[in-house]
Chains A and B, each alone.
Chain A
C-alpha cells in the first residue's frame, strides 16, 4: 500500500456528524463529541457538524461538552446551510458571503432514524461528500430488521425466526414473544408479551411500533454477545467478542442499562459492565468472527459496525440478532485492546474518502432513446381509459 497516506492525511479535513432526527439523538451527540476529541488529539483537523432535532445544521466549536447541548445547539454554534443542486455542499455564513466547508470525508455518528437508516447516506451522496456508515442501501438494509432477517435466512446464517406482525396472520411459533420496532435502533420500544393478542394491542398503542413491528420467540435463557467489525484498514477485521452483563432480573438489555446506568459523569456505553473478551468456548468465538465477516459482505456495511448475537450457554447455539451500521461510541471500547481509537476512526475515514462513488453515473446516454421517441402526443394514444 503506497504510504503517502500520512502526507495526504495532514491536510485532510474530516467532518464528524452527530445528532440527527432520531430517539437516540442524545447518544449520538456523545458519540460525536468523543470521536471529535479522539481525532483532534491525534492531530487531525476536525469540523464537528451538529444536526439539530428541528432540522438545522450547525458547525460547533471543537472541544464542546455534552452539557453545551442541553438547551439546543451550543451558543457558539454557527448555522450551516445545506445546498443541493448543481453546486451542492455545506455552507457556513462568513462575514460577507457563505463559505463552502471543505470536507475530505465525514464520520457518521448518527444513531437510529434517518441518520443510520440511509437518509443521511443518500444526502451525502447527493452532496458529493464521502462518508462512513455505509451506503444508502447498506444502511437501509441494516435498519430494517425484517429485511436483514430475510437476507440472513437466505444466506443460511443461523438466526431466530422473525416475522412481520401482520393483521390477519397467525404466528408460526408459540409465545412468549418479543415484539420489536421494525425500523429502529437501540432497545427503545421493545416489548415482551405472552400471546399474539397482546402483541397486537401493544403494536397498536406504542408509538415506536406503529411504523412496523417484527415478532420473534422470546428466549429468556439467551445472553447477548456483541462483536465489532471494520472494513477500513486491511480488509475486514473483527474485534474481540464481548458479553454485556445485564442486571439479574432484567429481561432485555435496555436503553437505561446501556446508556444511563453508572454515577453522574460515568454513565454511558463505555462504562456499562461487560466481559471483554467474553468467556465462551473457542469455537463460539471463532464462529462469531466468521459470521461477522459474512455479514459485512452480505450487507455491504462499511466503516465500523457492531453485530449483535444471541447465545444459548447450555447448548452452545449462536444466532445473529441484528447489525448496527453506526454503533454506540463507534464500538471504540471493543477495539481498544487491539487497536487505538484514532487508528480505527482514521482507517474508516480514509476508506470512505478513497472509495469510488457508489451511485452509478447519471449522465445522458447519447440521446438515442429521446430521438427515437417522436412526439409526446403519440404516447398518449389509448390512455383515456375504457370506452363507455
Chain B
C-alpha cells in the first residue's frame, strides 16, 4: 500500500517536471498540436544519447506493466529517466523562459486533467507501476491537450473576435490584407509609410497575423476615423486565410511571394500557393507580383473573375508597378493608363524590391495619386533584425539577420556580407541553419553551407538541428567550419576569427528548444 502510494507520487512528480518542459515547448510553438512531438523526435534524431535514454525509459515503463515484485522500481526509474531526457532541453528555458500566461495556465490545467485520468485508468486496470507510461509519453499527452484546448480557446475567444468584427464594421476602413511566404511585415511597414500623408492608416502590429492577433489589433488599435487598415495574414495550412478573410473581409488583397516557409506543414509549394491564393477570393482588387509564374497565373484568373488587378515586377516585365533597384526608380502606370507613367526616385535601404513594388501597387489600388507618393520614398522603415548592419567600436561589422529564416534571404545576405569584408578581415557566418523546410530542409542548408564555403566564409555551426546538412555543404565547397552547441558560445569564436575589418553575419536564430 505504501509502496503503491510512493510509486504514484513519484511518477506524478516526475511527470510534472517533464510536463513543464514540454508545455514550454508547446508555448514556444504557438500551441500548435503535434509540434511538441515533432520537437521531441528532432531531439532524439540528433542525439544518440538522448535517444538511448528515451528507449530505456520506455522499455522500463512497459516492463512495469508486468506484475512482478520490483515492477515499482522499474516504474520509478523509467519515469526518472523519462524526466531527464532530452538533457539539452532545459525545463525553465534559457533564451525564452516559461511565461505563465492565461492560455498556458489553461493548457496546463487541461494537460494535468488528461494525465490524471490516464494515470487513474492505468492504475485501476493494471496497477500503480503502470502509470510510468504516462511519465514517458509526455510530448504525446501535451500535444493531445494542446489539440483539445485549442478548441476550447476558440470558443473562449469568440466574444473577443465578435467585438473586433463589430468594430471593423462600424469604423469601416478600407481593409488591405497582405500575405506571402516572406516580406509581409516589411511590405506592411512600407504601405503604412507610403500612405501616412494621404490617408489615416492603422497597420496591425508585428506578428499579430492570425485570428486572435488581428482581433486584438482591431480592438486596441483601430481608432475612429481610420481610413485604411493594413492587416498582415499568416497561415500554416489551407483554409486558414479563407477563415481570416471571412472575419476581416479585405477590399485589397496582396501576395508578396511564394516561397518555402512552413513547407514542412504545407507539404509542397503548390499547396502554399493555393493556401495563400485564398486571400484573393473576397477582395475586389488584388496586387500581385508577376515575376513568379504561379502568381502571374493567379493574376490572370483574378482578371477573368472581374477583379481589379494591379501587377508588379522587379525584373522589368510589363506591369503596373515596375521597381528597378539598380537604377533606384519605381515606375507607376496611371489608372486606366490614360496619362503617361510616373517615375519616382527611391531612397536608400530597400532590401527586397518586390516588397516595395507590392506596397506601391497597394497604394495604386487605393486610388492614391502617384504624385502624392513622391515624397514618401525616402525614410522607408527598415524591419528590425533583418540584415541590420552595425559597426562596432573595434571596426568589426556585424549583420544581424536573425529574424530571417528563408533560403533566398539567407543567400542574399551572404552575398552582401561578402562584399563588405575589409582589409585583413574575414567573413564569419554564424548560423543554426533554417528549419520548417520539410522535404527540402537538408538540401537548402547544404546549399547555404556550400555558398558560404565558396565566398570564403568561416562558418560557425550552432546546435545540432542542421549540423550534418550544413557541414556536408561546407565540406563539399572546400570551406572551413567550427561547431558549437549554443549561440552565445559562437559570439566569442566569431569575434576572434573575423578580426579587424571582418564581418560577422548572424543568419537566423533558433530558440533554445531546438537541439
Contacts and interface: CB of A to CB of B under 8 A. Distances in A.
A binds B: yes
Given A54-B220, A205-B368, A207-B227, 7 more contacts: A70-B205, A71-B205, A205-B369, A206-B198, A207-B197, A207-B199, A208-B197
Interface of B: 167, 197-200, 205, 216, 219-225, 227, 368-369, 371-372
Interface string A203-218: 0011110000000000
Of the candidates B198, B200, B216, B368, the one having the most CB atoms from chain A within 10 angstroms of its own CB is B198
Contacts, number: 41
B224 A55 contact: yes
Contacts of A71: 205, 216, 220
B223 to A, nearest CB: 4
A72 B220 contact: yes
Nearest to B199: A207
A207 B200 contact: yes
Interface in A4-32: 21
Contact of B222 (A54, A73, A201, A208): A54
A205 B368 CA distance: 8
Given A54-B167, A71-B205, A205 B220 contact: no
Given A205-B369, A205-B372, A207-B227, A52 B220 contact: yes
A189 B372 CA distance: 13
Contacts of A189: 197
A215 B225 CA distance: 25
16 contacts: A21-B224, A21-B225, A53-B220, A55-B223, A72-B216, A72-B221, A73-B220, A201-B371, A205-B369, A205-B371, A205-B372, A206-B372, A207-B197, A207-B199, A207-B227, A208-B197
B159 to A, nearest CB: 15
A21 B221 CA distance: 11
A207 B368 CA distance: 11
B99 to A, nearest CB: 11
Contacts of B368: 205
A208 B198 CA distance: 7
B369 A54 contact: no
A54 B223 contact: yes
Interface in A120-166: none
A208 B227 CA distance: 12
B219 A54 contact: yes
B372 A53 contact: no
A330 B205 CA distance: 29
A341 B62 CA distance: 72
Nearest to A22: B223
A180 to B, nearest CB: 14
A207 B198 contact: yes
Interface string A58-101: 00000000000011110000000000000000000000000000
Contacts of B371: 201, 205
Contacts of B198: 205-207
Nearest to A53: B223
Contacts of B199: 207
A70 B205 CA distance: 9
Contacts of A201: 371
Contacts of A73: 220
A208 B205 CA distance: 23
A54 B199 CA distance: 18
A54 B198 CA distance: 21
Of the candidates A54, A71, A73, A189, the one having the most CB atoms from chain B within 10 angstroms of its own CB is A54
Contacts of A205: 197-198, 368-369, 371-372
A53 B197 contact: no
Contacts of A52: 220
Contacts of A70: 205
Contacts of B372: 205-206
Contacts of A206: 197-198, 372
Nearest to A204: B369
B203 to A, nearest CB: 13
B494 to A, nearest CB: 24
Contacts of B200: 207
A186 to B, nearest CB: 14
A70 B198 CA distance: 24
A21 B223 contact: yes
Contacts of B221: 53-54, 72
Nearest to B205: A71
A145 B369 CA distance: 28
Interface in A42-62: 52-55
Of the candidates A52, A55, A71, A208, the one having the most CB atoms from chain B within 10 angstroms of its own CB is A71
Interface in A177-223: 189, 201, 205-208
Contacts of B225: 21
A201 B167 CA distance: 33
A54 B163 CA distance: 13
A21 B216 CA distance: 18
A51 B215 CA distance: 20
A201 B198 CA distance: 12
A68 to B, nearest CB: 13
A73 B219 CA distance: 11
Contacts of B222: 54
A207 B227 CA distance: 10
Contacts of B219: 54
Contacts of A208: 197
Nearest to A205: B372
Of the candidates B199, B216, B225, B372, the one having the most CB atoms from chain A within 10 angstroms of its own CB is B372
A56 to B, nearest CB: 8
A55 B224 CA distance: 8
Contacts of B216: 71-72
A250 to B, nearest CB: 14
B508 to A, nearest CB: 24
B164 to A, nearest CB: 10
A58 B419 CA distance: 51
A94 to B, nearest CB: 21
A178 to B, nearest CB: 15
Shortest 6 CB-CB contacts between residues of A and residues of B: A72-B220, A53-B223, A205-B372, A205-B198, A207-B199, A207-B200
Contacts of A54: 167, 219-224
Of the candidates A21, A70, A207, the one having the most CB atoms from chain B within 10 angstroms of its own CB is A207
B49 to A, nearest CB: 41
A206 to B, nearest CB: 6
A113 to B, nearest CB: 10
Contacts of B369: 205
Nearest to A208: B197
Contacts of A53: 220-221, 223
B217 to A, nearest CB: 9
B251 to A, nearest CB: 18
